[in-house]
Amino acid sequence: MRTITTTDALADFCTEARAHPYVTVDTEFLRERTYYSKLCLVQLAMPGTDEDSAVLVDPLAKDLSLEPLYDLFRDTSVVKVFHAARQDLEIFYVDAQVFPEPLFDTQVAAMVCGFGEQVGYETLVRKIAKQSLDKTSRFTDWSRRPLTDAQKTYAIADVTHLREIYEFLSTKLNNSGRARWVSEELQTLLSPETYIIQPEDAWKRVKTRTNSARFLAVVKELAAFREAHAQSRNVPRNRVFKDDALVELASNKPKSYEDLGRSRLLLREARKGDIADGILAAVKCGVEMDPDAMPRPDKSREKLQVNPALADLLRVLLKAKTESAGVAAKLIASAADLDALAAGVRDVPALHGWRSEVFGTDALRLCDGQVALTANGADVQIIPLD
């Protein structure tokens, strides 16, 4: 199999790829020791049935720029096919602020074609391509050179089988009229906001048991400092301090290095230097924050008056509808969403887009007393009411 290590060779491949309707793409990367993913390998394949039209691209080669690949990504005449594209897209967006368009994600497509929620690539290879994958190289160090033959074989398989999977799913989507469903789902993947974590919003990712406004103010400042520090140093946020230590700091509100030294959960490296100074400054800002500026948890659903009988009927309807459509119920609505619907909330994903077609429209009719449910053997049927 061919490995591309120069910009000219990559440009030649991308020029050839433009003559085809699609190209399959995958990456190998490392992220254990960095905030941002370190791209170690890009795999590409044009339509075909063998490995001759597939290549490995070495982004660590000193004579290679990925700009020809990014030009291919910008070429809207060629569909770029990924599986579970989110982390791959983050790498390319952070590196070059570019998204592959048009994009096709086989995990998303499989989801709406009845293969279940977040189906894995190995499962699709087995069910569609009727092949098996050797996954022994999955967790190897992709930054080491030279790559072994086993690594190369593993990596290239991630784009060669993807061709058959794409063609199968694309045909099925077109025949079922569900291609628009996939397009709707991909909008989130193609939004820059998906990949940019603003430090001031990082506190929303921290799980706490206390909703005190003052406590959350300290959590917000600590999380913002940690995120900004991790981004600027390109280190994992847990290398700065972990969530449990953050919650402990927000509870104890240390004022000095001596106070930090009493922490049970704070890493030794975080008790001195820039991190210690940042912690103390963040705690001080949180403690002194103006009450009007303090974060407030979303409690909008905590006191909902849920109609339990209606919630149960919505669950029955959801099960019937998703079984008929061949779509996983969790993809349409969560248990919390169903309870919210039964309490009168109308701002839930199930009432929008393709989910509304499958379930949302009839769910509203059920909530409004316009339809009833009846059992006919193993089937659940909807009966209009006058």
pLDDT at 67 over 70: yes
356 located within any domain: yes
In a domain, 303, yes or no: no
Task: CATH number of the domain at 73, please.
Answer: 3.30.420.10
Tokens matching residue 376: 């006919």
Q: How far apart are CA 29 and CA 38, in angstroms?
A: 5
Alpha-carbon gap, residue 276 to 261, rounded angstroms: 10
The enclosing domain of 329 has a CATH number of 1.10.150
Q: Are residues 84 and 157 in the same domain?
A: yes
Tell me, what's the pLDDT at 379?
86
207 and 233 housed in the same domain: yes
For residue 50, what pLDDT band results from cuts at 50, 70 and 90?
confident
Give yes or no for a contact between 182 and 109, defined as CB atoms under 8 angstroms apart.
yes
Task: Indicate whether 206 belongs to any domain.
Answer: yes
Do 153 and 34 fall within a single domain? yes
Are 88 and 119 found together in one domain? yes
Q: Give yes or no for residue 265 having a pLDDT over 80.
A: yes
Residue 300 falls inside a structural domain: no
Q: Is pLDDT above 90 for 334?
A: yes
DSSP for residue 102: S
In a domain, 301, yes or no: no
| Least-confidence region, from 84-88, 307-311, 329-333 | 329-333
Task: Judge whether 41 lies within some domain.
Answer: yes
* Banded model confidence at residue 297, pLDDT cuts 50, 70, 90: confident
pLDDT number for residue 132? 92
Taking each helix axis as running N to C, give the angle between helix 273-287 and helix 243-252, from 0 to 180 degrees, rounded to the nearest 10. Answer: 50
Q: Looking at the predicted structure, is the pLDDT value of residue 310 above 90?
A: yes
> In terms of domains, do 62 and 157 share one?
yes
What pTM value is reported for the model? Answer: 0.90
| Residue 229 to residue 221: CA distance in whole angstroms | 12
Report whether pLDDT(301) > 70: no
Residue 52 has pLDDT above 90, yes or no: no
Q: Would residue 92 count as lying in a domain?
A: yes
- Please tell me whether residue 3 adopts helix, strand or coil conformation: strand
CB atoms within 10 A of CB 180: 13
Structural domain for 321, as ranges: 308-384
Residue 138 pLDDT class (50, 70, 90 cuts) = confident
Residue 298 within a domain = no
Q: Which of 178, 194, 210 is the last residue of a domain?
A: 194
Boundary of a domain, candidates 173, 194, 215? 194
Q: What is the pLDDT of residue 338?
A: 96
- Asked whether residue 26 falls in the same domain as residue 99, the answer is yes
* Domain match, 171 and 227 both: no
Q: Are 69 and 155 part of one and the same domain?
A: yes
Model pLDDT for residues 201-222, shown as the tens digit of each residue: 999 999 998 889 999 999 999 9
Distance CA 233, CA 238 (A): 13
Query: 189 with 61, same domain?
Result: yes
Cβ neighbours of residue 29 under 8 Å, at least 6 residues apart?
Answer: 37, 38, 39, 40, 41, 87, 91, 142
Same domain, 33 and 164: yes
Number of domains comprising the chain:
3
State residue 302's pLDDT score.
Answer: 67
Asked if 9 and 137 sit in the same domain, the reply is yes
Residues 159, 282: one domain?
A: no
CATH number at residue 238: 1.10.150.80
Of the candidates 169, 194, 219, which is a domain's last residue? Answer: 194
